[in-house]
Amino acid sequence: MAARQISNPPGIWGHYGALIVLALITLTPIWVMVATGFKDDVLVQQKEPVWFFFFPTLENYDYIMTRGKFDRYLWNSTIVGVSATFLTLLSGGLCAYALARMEFRGRVLVANSTLLVRMVPPAVLAVPAFAMVINFSLNNDLAVLIFFYTALNLPFAIWLLFGFYKQIPVELEEAAIVDGATPLQVFFRVLMPLMKSGYAVAGIFTFRIAWNEFILALLLTGRTTRTLPVGAAGFITDTGVEWGRIMAMGTLIVIPPLLFTFFAARQIIAGMTAGAVKG
């Protein structure tokens, strides 16, 4: 025991040291973005960058809020992100439940192969999606962007939720049916509370992709329907790149997904099986 206690501290400090180094590597780009957003044009353009000791300014944030149409981009991104997440979780949950409970040949293969569709990068879908939208005169419409983001995230949601539904004992549903519950009541009142962790993970991934996606948003939106990533790209002009305003916009863009993840963290780490046993 004494030898083990003596040999453990160096190993523990080595692990902590490696974690600190990895954390610094991960946080460095974030700090560069945040610091650049508080610099004026002179500091941004100088040859020797200064990351720590400089006089911060709110000029970039003031420009974004007053003349950068940030409120419109924020509203568009919120509508698209929340709507796409809701539709993805609703339809993906129903599909995953049907695949988990219905008995037919190849259902496991179907559930697992849905993830293959998600492997298609959005850049491949950009040109046909743009042609289809122009054909039907549906450009400059947020509903189109919501539809594409729902279709893009649906395979991952089905694959993820299918695994969670498979872990729920069928006896819980049978007991609810014996008590007089309808299929919809079983789904929304019995299964949904047990699936909080699964829906939290699927919701975070869906919202993050819908919030940050750029290529489809660039092609399928217009002046009044641009989202935040497209709005940030608007600071790349013919005369140069306005790095300070781009970084300030980027700092504001990452805040909602971070808050979403923070508040849903408890649901993510909660054990779905433990919740079923307690219920």
Which whole number is the average pLDDT over 21-40? 90
Share of residues in the chain with pLDDT > 90 (%): 20
Q: Long-range pairs for 27-32 at CB < 8 Å and ≥24 separation?
A: 30/254, 32/247
**What's the CA gap between 215 and 268, in Å, rounded?**
29
Quick check: 68 pLDDT over 80?
Answer: no
Which whole number is the average pLDDT over 177-205? 85
Give the domains, in start order, of the chain with CATH numbers.
12-57 (no CATH), 64-273 (1.10.3720.10)
| pTM for the full predicted model | 0.81
The C-alpha angle with vertex 35 and arms to 33 and 39, in degrees rounded to 5, equals 115
DSSP state of 188: I
Quick check: 150 pLDDT over 50?
Answer: yes
Quick check: 201 pLDDT over 60?
Answer: yes
- β-bridge mates for residue 269, sequence order: none
Q: What are phi and psi of 117, to 5 degrees?
A: -65, -35
- Where residue 279 falls among pLDDT bands split at 50, 70, 90? very low
What is the greatest pairwise CA distance in the chain? 76
Per-residue tokens: 17: 């040291």
Instruction: Report the interhelical angle of 243-269 vs 2-37 (nearest 10°).
Output: 140
Q: What pLDDT is attached to residue 276?
A: 38
Q: What pLDDT is attached to residue 2?
A: 46
Q: Across the chain, how many H-helices and E-strands are there?
A: 15, 2
**What's the CA gap between 200 and 267, in Å, rounded?**
6
Query: Chain-wide mean pLDDT for the chain?
Result: 83
pLDDT tens digits for range 254-268: 988 888 777 777 766
Q: What pLDDT is attached to residue 8?
A: 54
Give the position of tokens 């006896």: 171
DSSP state of 46: S
Instruction: Report the interhelical angle of 196-212 vs 243-269 (nearest 10°).
Output: 170
Give the position of tokens 């300030």: 248
Q: What pLDDT is attached to residue 45?
A: 81
Q: What pLDDT is attached to residue 274?
A: 38
Quick check: 92 pLDDT over 80?
Answer: yes
Q: What pLDDT is attached to residue 1?
A: 47
